[in-house]
Every structure is written in structure tokens, then in C-alpha cells.
Amino acid sequence: MKVLPTLAGLSLAVSSLALPTSDHVVHERRTVTHSRWEKTGPVNETEPIMVRIGLTQSNLDRAYQYLMDVSDSVSPNYGKFWTPEQVASTFAPSNETVAAVRKWLNGAGVENSRLSQTKHSGWIAFNATAQEVEGLFHTQYYHYHDRTSGVKTIATHEYHIPQSIQQHIDYIKPGVLLPPASKKRSKRRPRMQKAPQPSVNATSLATCDQAITPACIAALYQIPPSDSTVSANNSLGVFEEGSMYSQEDLNLFFGNFTPWIPQGTKPQPAFIDGGTAPAPVEDAGTESNLDFQLAYPIVYPQTLTLYQTDDKFYGASTIVDGLFNTFLDALDGSYCTYCAYGECGDDPKYDPTYPDKFSGGYTGQLMCGTYKPTNVISISYGGQEYDLPAYYQQRQCNEFLKLGLQGTSVLIASGDDGVAGPLGDDNTNGCLGDGSVFSPTWPNSCPYITNVGATKVYPGQTVADPESAVYDPPGHPYFSEFASGGGFSNIYGIPDYQAAAVAEYFKSHNPSYPYYEGQSNMGKNGGVYNRLGRGYPDIAANGDNIAMFSEGQNFLEGGTSASTPIFASIINRIVEKRLAAGKGALGFLNPVLYRNAHALNDITNGTNPGCGSDGFSTAPGWDPVTGLGTPNFPKLLDVFMNLP
Ligand SMILES: *[C@@H]1O[C@H](CO)[C@@H](O)[C@H](O)[C@H]1NC(C)=O
Ligand SMILES: *[C@@H]1O[C@H](CO)[C@@H](O)[C@H](O)[C@H]1NC(C)=O
Ligand SMILES: *[C@@H]1O[C@H](CO)[C@@H](O)[C@H](O)[C@H]1NC(C)=O
Ligand SMILES: *[C@@H]1O[C@H](CO)[C@@H](O)[C@H](O)[C@H]1NC(C)=O
Ligand SMILES: *[C@@H]1O[C@H](CO)[C@@H](O)[C@H](O)[C@H]1NC(C)=O
Ligand SMILES: *[C@@H]1O[C@H](CO)[C@@H](O)[C@H](O)[C@H]1NC(C)=O
């Protein structure tokens, strides 16, 4: 909480306004106001204000411990995942909190009939005049005007609440927050590249250094053929947004590379908020085609579930900068109204708003808790930490934690720009500060997801040789430079499960660059990365020269976009084996992976350049380029089958 506890001096200073009484304390105070914001005058006391009081969530401080309790193999409760109801009620504000805040409001003249609150929701809302609200919070509201965007809003410098209920209130809106600057560019890009495909023999391993086929992937990671009978309850979830597969492309791919997969094989639809698929072949999306063409050869006859998210206006990616919240809403109904870090529900500034006001858009209500999450979810999309406010990311990150608590493994592509962001993000070179500071990716830095970096079979190497971290300079073979996304978060600290691995990297393979400690010191003393941040990626898989079909053409694709469905498919195969043995799904993978690095192929050659540097170097053990390494199917299977 952002609370400044004491008020003695302040109460005196403003006592002539008769504002804070003895039991009121400052709850939030704004210390810096960006020069974009012009204060245009006080709010008229008759103006209506809709107030939202974000209630303190219960047990958030224990969330990490809860997650470890069910995901760390040394815990007696390993694999004992929670029901959605258990998750919602554990984190919902306590009855005591709700009662205390209602009692205070009632006593101050806001009757219960004016208060609205939904089940499990983290906030209480009501309408009042400015005069009433100012009296309640002992404050003065002002109109603000953003000189750059023209956006208008109201806010206070600080507000007060009785000390006795302070522990029950996270924040109040409108409050001290002024929205951050909006950005023009879309950050919601799929992570992939594109180059011409040489003709290859689908069953030969002789050309895996030129084009990666399903046979190459199976050989690299020792993936055996699938069992012929499979569980009906273990469909691999694949997230897509704005990119749609085409059946023609899948059929072309199956015909050329995996003739054992029947023509017409297609994912089970789990369409979210107007998302739809497939597309006609001429409108096919490469990302979606790529994901399915990598996953099917590994998981078939297991099925795939397509979480096609958002209608065509929002899916087209230029309208909003946010991502994943509408998807997460559809998997967990309580997330739709969940309050944390100063946000309740989706953020209309960053997330789609439904029903969609654009003509032809999705006219239904926002989907909340519509689909039960699959055991494993593959996500090949994302942006940079820099793109969105920290509070947006932290609230979302908690939701990934909740998916883990419920037994879902989430794997996300670590980014394709090495230690940088895409060109033009913040600086022209995609870096932070003066252009030398590395730019961590979002949502990857969230400690509750499993990040997948990319490896490559370099020319002249075979599938029997160790792979290397991918680095393709601009123009070769793809249009843009491509390096495995990796580095250290500016938002999140180092989680316990990776602390030893990160410490060992710094001890034995200390990068030569200056660093800073904590986001507030970014760039200090020439530092280019946060020495105290969560390191990523966690693992890696091949992500270069992938043979695929899209828009009826064959191409080579590259990107951590490819690595992610490969690793996710392998995990799904392992879950399948566990189900057959009467065991459960795996949930959050990292604690077990970091304890069992021997089950991964350590990658020790290559770097992830960016920001005018060579980036970080791979090294024996974990590194911020390829994580713990690539999958070794038999060893991973062994590790996970030996767990309860
Ligand atoms: C506040 O608004 C009311 C109604 O629009 C108006 O009559 C009044 O003059 C306003 N007061 C001030 C101080 O602007
Ligand atoms: C909180 O209140 C709800 C409904 O009023 C009730 O069902 C629930 O048992 C209460 N929980 C606790 C922990 O008292
Ligand atoms: C406040 O008033 C607005 C406009 O009439 C309405 O849409 C909203 O639901 C009201 N909110 C509450 C909490 O009563
Ligand atoms: C493809 O490779 C396999 C295995 O190396 C070989 O048996 C087959 O003859 C090749 N097919 C063609 C058309 O070259
Ligand atoms: C799938 O799960 C449901 C409940 O989650 C269970 O009733 C059903 O038997 C399962 N089906 C299979 C094939 O395991
Ligand atoms: C090691 O990685 C570099 C790129 O960083 C690459 O040029 C080289 O071919 C790789 N070596 C092997 C043996 O794969």
C-alpha cells in the first residue's frame, strides 16, 4: 500500500479548512505531477462523482507461499491444486473488511441502499456529489487536463480516511492517480519473423540446419510418437489475438510434413469476446498458423483448444495497448472485478471495453469465467514492461499466479529482441534511459509464468549437436534482427525458486556491464540492467528456420513464438502420461524445473545482443538468454512422473 502514516503536522497546517479531524490520516498523497497535466480548477461541489473504494484483498502477502505450496516438489501439498472458488474466496476482501467500510460509510451518511458491490468483488461503489465526497475523504478535488492528449480527469493531491479503517482500504478512485501518457504504437505483436523456405525432405534429419521440420524437433528433444489413446481432458490451450489460422494452411502443412494427421484436423474453439477463426487462406495469420503447425505434430491425437481473444476491432491491435486481461477474465470470473494495485477489473484505458462501441464489434457482455482453463496454455504474444504501468502488470501477474494455484501451466514467449525492445519502443533502438539500458519484456518478467527463449541449429550443425542461443543479424535471414529475449525485470524482484541459479550466474559468469539496483535507480552510474530483478527466460526451445505454411505459401519462420508451443506441447504430453497414471496436472512449472536443471539440455553458446551491446552470454547453468536450457523429453518425463 502507498500509505503515508502520520499526519500530525498536516492536520495542523490545514485545520483552518476544518478538514482532517483527529482520527483521519492521509491515505494517499501524490508527490509528483507530470508537466503534461494542467490543473484547471476546483470541482464544483454539485458535480456528481462515482466513487470506487478498493478494499484490501485478503492474503495477498501469502500468495507466493500458497503457490509454492502446491508447485514446489518438496512441499507435502505438491499438486494439490485449488478450486476456482477457493482461489476467489481466499483473496476476496474479508467480511470484516467489508463490514468495517460499510459501517464507516453508513455512519457518514451514505446508506447501504446507495452502495453497490458484487460477489467476491474487491470494491464498493456509490454515487455522490463532490461536496459529499470531499467531506467524506477530507479533501478537495480538481479538474486536470492533459496538454498532450486532451484527456480530462479529476484527482486530488491527497485524501484522508479514519485511521481505524485504513487497513481495510487499498485505494480510492478518483484519487491521487493521473493516467499515464497514452502511446500511439501497438505493442501487441506476435513474436515471430519470416524468410523463404528451401525444399526439404520431411523425414530426413540431414537438413535440420536449414529448415526445422517436425522430424527435426522430435529428434532434438527425443520426443517419442504419441500414444494412440488420449484423455478427453487434456487439450492444449493456445492463445491467439488478431491472428487467425486457416484450415487450408493446416492441411498443406499436414500433407507435407505430418501425413499421419488427418486433413481437416482443427482446434476446439474457445472464442472470447467476439474472437473467431479460422480465416480464409488469403487472410490467414502467420502466428496462429505457426502455433498450430508446431503443436499438432507433438500432441496429436491430443486436441488443441483455441482461445481466440477479442473482436476484430480490438484484435487488430492498434486500438489498445493492453493484452491478456479479457482472456484472463474469460478463464476466471472473479478477475473481472478483482481489485489490486489500484485497479478494479479491466482498465478502460488499456483494455477492450465490451459491448464494443465500434459497429460490427462484439455486442455481448465481457466474458467472465466462461471457460475452464486447460492444463497447459501456450502464449506467443507480449510487449515490454515499459509499455504499461507497473500497477497494470502487477494486477495481471497475480492472475497468472491464480492460474498456477488451479493447476494450469502457462508458457510465454520471452521476446525476439534480445535485451532490447522492438525498434522505436521508448528510444529508436528499443532501449530505455539514454538508449543503453536494457528493456525487459512483459508479461515475461512476472515471476509466476514460465518463459521460453529461443535456440537455433546453426549451419553445419546436426540435431545431435548442442543447440545455441539464436542470433540473426538484421536482414539475415529475416527482415529484422532476432535474438532470444532475456534479462532482468525492473518491476519484480528475484523469486526464491531462481535465487540460487541467478546468484550462480552472477558469481561465475558475471556480465561485464555496469548495473543498477532497483527500478528507481535505473541507469544510475551507467548501469544497464537491474541486478535485483527477476531473471528470464526460464527455459528455451528451437525458434529458428521453422518450416511452415501460411497464406498457401511455405516459409521459414523464427521467433520465441515458435519455441513456446514446442515446449508447451511437450509439457502437455507429460501431463497426458500423468493423467494416464492417475496423477494430476502440473500447474506452475518453475519450482520443479529449477530443482531439476539436469532434465534440460544446457545451452552454453551464444548471446542475445541489443542496445548497442552483445547482450548477455549463455553459460553453463541458468542464463538470461536460454534459461535452464531446452527440453529433454525422457528426462523431463522421468522428473514429473516421479512426483505425486
Ligand atoms: C456550480 O454548478 C452550478 C450548477 O451548474 C452553478 O449554478 C454554480 O454557479 C456552480 N458554482 C460555481 C462555484 O461555479
Ligand atoms: C462471509 O459472509 C458470507 C455471506 O455473508 C458468508 O457466507 C461467509 O461464511 C462469511 N465468511 C466468513 C469467513 O465469516
Ligand atoms: C452512478 O451513476 C451512473 C450514471 O447514472 C450509473 O451508471 C452508475 O451505475 C451509478 N453507480 C453506482 C455505484 O450507483
Ligand atoms: C527422405 O529421407 C528419407 C530418410 O532419410 C529417405 O528414406 C527418403 O528416400 C527421402 N525421400 C526423398 C524423396 O528423397
Ligand atoms: C474429465 O474431467 C471431468 C471432471 O473434471 C470428469 O468427470 C471426467 O470423467 C474426465 N474425463 C476423462 C476422460 O478423464
Ligand atoms: C555459436 O553461436 C554463434 C552465434 O552466437 C554461431 O555463429 C556459431 O555457429 C555457434 N556455434 C555452434 C557450434 O553452433
Asked if pLDDT for residue 187 goes beyond 90, the answer is: no
- Are 201 and 143 found together in one domain? no
The verdict on 417 and 273 lying in the same domain is yes
Q: Residue 5 falls within a domain, yes or no?
A: no
Residue 576 counted as domain residue: yes
| Per-residue confidence (pLDDT) for residue 22, from 0 to 100 | 62
Least confident stretch, 207-221, 264-278, 428-442 = 428-442
Percent of the chain with pLDDT over 90: 76
Q: Is the CB of 15 under 6 A from ligand 5?
A: no
Q: Mean pLDDT throughout 109-117?
A: 94
Q: Are residues 165 and 270 in the same domain?
A: no
Q: Per residue in 533-557, pLDDT tens?
A: 999 999 999 999 999 999 999 989 9
Residue 163 shares a structural domain with residue 222: no
DSSP string over 431-469:
-BTTTTB---EETTT-TTSEEEEEEE--TT--TTSPPEE
Looking at the fold, whether 119 and 163 belong to one and the same domain comes out as yes
For residue 77, being part of any structural domain is answered with no
Name residues whose C-beta falls within 8 Å of residue 13's C-beta, 6 or more positions apart in sequence.
none
Ligand nearest 45 Cα, by number? 1
| Known binding positions for Ca(2+) | 602-603, 621, 623
CATH code, 230 = 3.40.50.200
Q: Which ligand is nearest to the CA of 207?
A: 4
CA dihedral 61→65→67→72, nearest 10 degrees, is 160
Cell matching residue 606: 551464444
Residues 36 and 101 in one domain: yes
Judge whether 295 and 568 are in contact, CB under 8 Å.
yes
Q: Hey, whose CA ends up nearest to atom 12 of ligand 1?
A: 44
Name the pLDDT band for 104 (thresholds 50, 70, 90): very high
7 part of a folded domain = no
Of the pLDDT bands very low, low, confident and very high (cuts 50, 70, 90), residue 339 is confident
Distance 204 CA to ligand 4 centre (A): 6
Task: For residues 548 and 400, state if they share a domain.
Answer: yes
- Which backbone phi and psi does 591 adopt, to 5 degrees? -55, -40
For 46, 82, 90, 322, 446, the CA distances from 334, given in Å and listed in that order, are: 35, 14, 11, 19, 20
Output the pTM of the full model: 0.88
**Of the candidates 243, 409, 414, 396, which has an alpha carbon nearest to the alpha carbon of residue 327?**
396
As for how many domains the chain has, the answer is 2
Q: Is residue 256 part of a domain?
A: yes
- Domain limit, last residue, from 173, 208, 238: 173
Residue to mutate, 40, 43, 44, ligand 1, most ligand atoms under 8 Å from C-beta:
44
How far is it, in rounded angstroms, from Cα 267 to Cα 569? 14
CA–CA separation, 558 vs 212, rounded Å? 10
Q: Cell 539464436: give the residue.
A: 470
As a whole-number percent, the residues of the chain with pLDDT over 70 amount to 93
Centre a 10 Å sphere on the Cβ of residue 584 and count the other Cβ atoms it contains: 16
Cell numbers linked to 227:
500414444
Minimal-distance CA residue to ligand 5 atom 5: 233
Q: Is the CB of 606 under 6 A from ligand 6?
A: yes
What pLDDT sits at residue 281? 96
Dihedral, 91, 382, 1, 169 alpha carbons, nearest 10 = -50
Say if residue 251's pLDDT is above 90: yes
How many whole angstroms from 468 Cα to the centroid of ligand 6? Answer: 6
Give the model's pLDDT for residue 337: 86
How far does residue 39's CA lie from ligand 1's centre (Å)?
A: 18
pLDDT tens digits, one per residue of 344-376: 889 888 899 999 988 789 999 999 999 999 999
Domain region containing 96: 16-57+92-173
Q: Within this chain, do residues 144 and 282 fall inside the same structural domain, yes or no?
A: no
For 460-464, what is the mean pLDDT? 98
> In whole numbers, what is the pLDDT of the chain averaged over residues?
90
* Vertex 157: Cα angle to 155 and 160 (nearest 5): 100
Helix, strand, or coil (residue 206): coil
In this structure, is residue 67 part of a structural domain?
no
Cell of 209: 540446419
Does the residue 6 lie in any domain? no
146, 205: one domain: no
Domain boundary among 118, 142, 173: 173
Does ligand 5 lie within 6 Å of residue 461's CB atom? no
| Euclidean distance between CA atoms 185 and 35, whole angstroms | 22
- Both 222 and 143 in one domain: the answer is no
Please report the pLDDT score of residue 190 as a whole number. Answer: 53
pLDDT of residue 18: 40
CA of 477 to the centre of ligand 4 (A): 26
- Does 351 map to a domain? no
Residue 262 and residue 376 share a domain: yes
The residues carrying an active-site annotation are 287, 291, 561
Residues 463 and 386 both lie in one domain: yes
Residue-wise over 545-561: b if at least 16 C-beta within 10 A, else e? bbbbbbbeebbbbbbbb
